[in-house]
Amino acid sequence: MSTSIHRDQLRPGETLAEFPPATDAGLRFIGRIETPFRVRADCPRQGDPENGPECTVTLDPVYAPALDGIEQFEFIELLYWLHEARRDLLTQSPKADGRTRGTFSLRSPLRPNPIGTSIVRLIERDGPWLIVRGLDCLSGTPLLDVKPYRCDFAVQARAKPGVST
Protein backbone atom coordinates (compact mmCIF):
# COMPACT_ATOMS: atom_id res chain seq x y z
CA MET A 1 0.00 0.00 0.00
CA SER A 2 1.35 3.43 -0.87
CA THR A 3 1.87 5.84 2.00
CA SER A 4 0.23 8.62 -0.05
CA ILE A 5 -3.08 6.81 0.42
CA HIS A 6 -2.75 7.25 4.19
CA ARG A 7 -1.68 10.91 4.38
CA ASP A 8 -5.29 12.12 4.60
CA GLN A 9 -5.84 9.82 7.59
CA LEU A 10 -3.21 11.46 9.83
CA ARG A 11 -4.27 13.13 13.06
CA PRO A 12 -2.81 16.53 13.97
CA GLY A 13 0.86 16.18 14.93
CA GLU A 14 1.29 12.68 13.47
CA THR A 15 4.14 11.98 11.07
CA LEU A 16 4.96 9.09 8.80
CA ALA A 17 7.93 7.77 6.88
CA GLU A 18 8.38 6.63 3.30
CA PHE A 19 9.83 3.12 3.63
CA PRO A 20 11.05 0.78 0.92
CA PRO A 21 9.07 -2.45 0.58
CA ALA A 22 9.36 -4.71 3.64
CA THR A 23 11.71 -7.66 3.51
CA ASP A 24 10.80 -11.15 4.61
CA ALA A 25 12.15 -11.87 8.08
CA GLY A 26 11.43 -15.55 7.60
CA LEU A 27 8.52 -15.66 10.04
CA ARG A 28 6.17 -18.62 9.85
CA PHE A 29 2.55 -18.24 10.91
CA ILE A 30 1.71 -21.20 13.14
CA GLY A 31 -2.04 -20.68 13.35
CA ARG A 32 -4.92 -18.21 13.53
CA ILE A 33 -6.79 -16.42 16.29
CA GLU A 34 -10.59 -16.17 16.30
CA THR A 35 -12.15 -13.38 18.35
CA PRO A 36 -15.52 -11.61 18.29
CA PHE A 37 -13.73 -8.48 17.01
CA ARG A 38 -14.30 -7.92 13.27
CA VAL A 39 -13.01 -4.33 12.92
CA ARG A 40 -10.35 -2.41 14.86
CA ALA A 41 -12.94 -0.18 16.53
CA ASP A 42 -14.43 -3.32 18.16
CA CYS A 43 -11.11 -4.34 19.78
CA PRO A 44 -10.63 -3.44 23.43
CA ARG A 45 -7.67 -1.21 24.27
CA GLN A 46 -6.16 -4.09 26.25
CA GLY A 47 -7.64 -7.55 26.65
CA ASP A 48 -9.23 -8.63 29.93
CA PRO A 49 -8.08 -12.12 31.03
CA GLU A 50 -10.75 -12.19 33.76
CA ASN A 51 -13.92 -10.96 32.04
CA GLY A 52 -13.02 -10.77 28.35
CA PRO A 53 -14.75 -13.02 25.82
CA GLU A 54 -13.50 -16.54 25.22
CA CYS A 55 -11.43 -16.68 22.03
CA THR A 56 -10.08 -19.62 20.04
CA VAL A 57 -6.46 -20.04 19.03
CA THR A 58 -6.09 -22.68 16.32
CA LEU A 59 -2.60 -23.95 15.60
CA ASP A 60 -1.74 -25.78 12.41
CA PRO A 61 -2.09 -29.46 13.45
CA VAL A 62 1.62 -30.07 12.82
CA TYR A 63 2.33 -27.86 15.87
CA ALA A 64 -0.05 -29.69 18.26
CA PRO A 65 2.80 -31.63 19.94
CA ALA A 66 4.53 -28.30 20.66
CA LEU A 67 1.65 -27.48 23.02
CA ASP A 68 2.25 -30.51 25.24
CA GLY A 69 2.58 -29.28 28.83
CA ILE A 70 1.01 -25.86 28.20
CA GLU A 71 -2.00 -26.89 30.34
CA GLN A 72 0.09 -26.50 33.51
CA PHE A 73 0.09 -22.73 33.04
CA GLU A 74 -2.80 -20.49 34.04
CA PHE A 75 -1.54 -17.70 31.77
CA ILE A 76 0.22 -17.83 28.43
CA GLU A 77 1.66 -15.18 26.14
CA LEU A 78 0.53 -15.04 22.53
CA LEU A 79 2.52 -13.21 19.86
CA TYR A 80 0.67 -12.40 16.67
CA TRP A 81 0.95 -10.45 13.42
CA LEU A 82 -1.34 -7.42 13.24
CA HIS A 83 -1.99 -8.02 9.54
CA GLU A 84 -4.30 -5.04 8.97
CA ALA A 85 -2.19 -2.44 10.80
CA ARG A 86 -0.50 0.35 8.90
CA ARG A 87 3.28 0.35 9.23
CA ASP A 88 4.41 3.88 8.38
CA LEU A 89 3.62 6.04 11.43
CA LEU A 90 6.59 7.49 13.31
CA THR A 91 4.52 9.62 15.69
CA GLN A 92 0.94 9.13 16.78
CA SER A 93 -1.78 10.87 18.70
CA PRO A 94 -3.58 8.08 20.59
CA LYS A 95 -7.34 8.46 20.43
CA ALA A 96 -6.66 11.96 19.01
CA ASP A 97 -6.03 13.18 22.57
CA GLY A 98 -3.87 16.02 21.27
CA ARG A 99 -0.63 14.60 22.73
CA THR A 100 1.67 13.31 20.02
CA ARG A 101 4.28 10.70 20.94
CA GLY A 102 6.71 8.41 19.17
CA THR A 103 5.36 5.06 18.02
CA PHE A 104 7.87 3.15 20.13
CA SER A 105 6.59 4.85 23.30
CA LEU A 106 3.08 3.48 22.67
CA ARG A 107 1.43 0.08 22.67
CA SER A 108 -0.46 0.98 19.49
CA PRO A 109 -0.85 -1.75 16.85
CA LEU A 110 0.38 0.76 14.25
CA ARG A 111 4.14 0.15 14.06
CA PRO A 112 6.87 -0.73 11.53
CA ASN A 113 6.69 -4.43 12.44
CA PRO A 114 3.14 -4.96 13.71
CA ILE A 115 3.79 -7.69 16.25
CA GLY A 116 1.12 -7.90 18.92
CA THR A 117 1.42 -9.60 22.27
CA SER A 118 -1.12 -10.47 24.92
CA ILE A 119 -0.96 -12.23 28.26
CA VAL A 120 -4.10 -14.38 28.25
CA ARG A 121 -5.78 -16.80 30.63
CA LEU A 122 -5.68 -20.35 29.30
CA ILE A 123 -9.14 -21.85 29.75
CA GLU A 124 -8.75 -25.12 27.85
CA ARG A 125 -6.59 -27.03 25.39
CA ASP A 126 -7.88 -29.64 22.96
CA GLY A 127 -5.21 -30.86 20.55
CA PRO A 128 -4.18 -27.87 18.41
CA TRP A 129 -6.94 -25.62 19.86
CA LEU A 130 -6.65 -23.28 22.82
CA ILE A 131 -9.53 -21.43 24.44
CA VAL A 132 -8.30 -18.21 26.07
CA ARG A 133 -9.52 -14.94 27.61
CA GLY A 134 -7.78 -11.60 27.29
CA LEU A 135 -7.23 -10.99 23.58
CA ASP A 136 -7.52 -7.62 21.89
CA CYS A 137 -6.93 -8.46 18.21
CA LEU A 138 -9.08 -8.92 15.12
CA SER A 139 -10.60 -12.25 14.24
CA GLY A 140 -8.40 -14.04 11.72
CA THR A 141 -5.15 -12.62 13.12
CA PRO A 142 -2.14 -14.82 12.24
CA LEU A 143 -0.40 -16.42 15.23
CA LEU A 144 3.40 -16.21 15.54
CA ASP A 145 4.20 -17.91 18.85
CA VAL A 146 2.88 -19.27 22.15
CA LYS A 147 4.90 -19.00 25.36
CA PRO A 148 4.13 -19.86 28.98
CA TYR A 149 3.78 -16.75 31.10
CA ARG A 150 5.91 -17.05 34.20
CA CYS A 151 5.40 -14.06 36.46
CA ASP A 152 8.69 -14.59 38.26
CA PHE A 153 10.48 -13.76 34.98
CA ALA A 154 8.25 -10.84 33.99
CA VAL A 155 9.25 -7.27 34.67
CA GLN A 156 6.40 -4.79 34.71
CA ALA A 157 6.99 -1.70 32.56
CA ARG A 158 6.05 1.38 34.53
CA ALA A 159 6.32 5.04 33.68
CA LYS A 160 9.12 6.84 35.46
CA PRO A 161 8.05 8.69 38.62
CA GLY A 162 6.52 12.04 37.73
CA VAL A 163 5.88 11.07 34.09
CA SER A 164 2.28 10.78 32.93
CA THR A 165 1.44 8.42 30.09
Does residue 124 surpass a pLDDT of 70?
yes
Q: How far apart are CA 85 and CA 74, in angstroms?
A: 29
How do residues 8-30 score in pLDDT, each as one tens digit?
Answer: 778 888 888 887 877 778 889 99
* Class of residue 1 by CB neighbours under 10 A (exposed 0-12, middle 13-18, buried 19+): exposed
Domain residues of the chain, as ranges? 30-148
How do residues 86-123 score in pLDDT, each as one tens digit?
Answer: 999 999 988 767 889 999 999 889 999 999 999 999 99
pLDDT band of 155, cuts 50, 70, 90: low
pTM over 0.75: yes
Q: What is the pLDDT of residue 73?
A: 95
pLDDT band of 149, cuts 50, 70, 90: very high
How do residues 31-71 score in pLDDT, each as one tens digit?
Answer: 999 999 999 889 888 899 999 999 999 999 999 999 999 99
Q: From residue 92, how far is each of 1, 7, 123 by CA, in Å?
A: 19, 13, 35
**Helix then strand then coil, % of the chain, to nearest 5:** 15, 30, 55
CATH class of the domain defined by 30-148: mainly beta
Q: Which of 80, 86, 85, 64 is nearest to 119 (CA)?
A: 80
Query: What is the rounded average pLDDT of the residues 127-142?
Result: 97
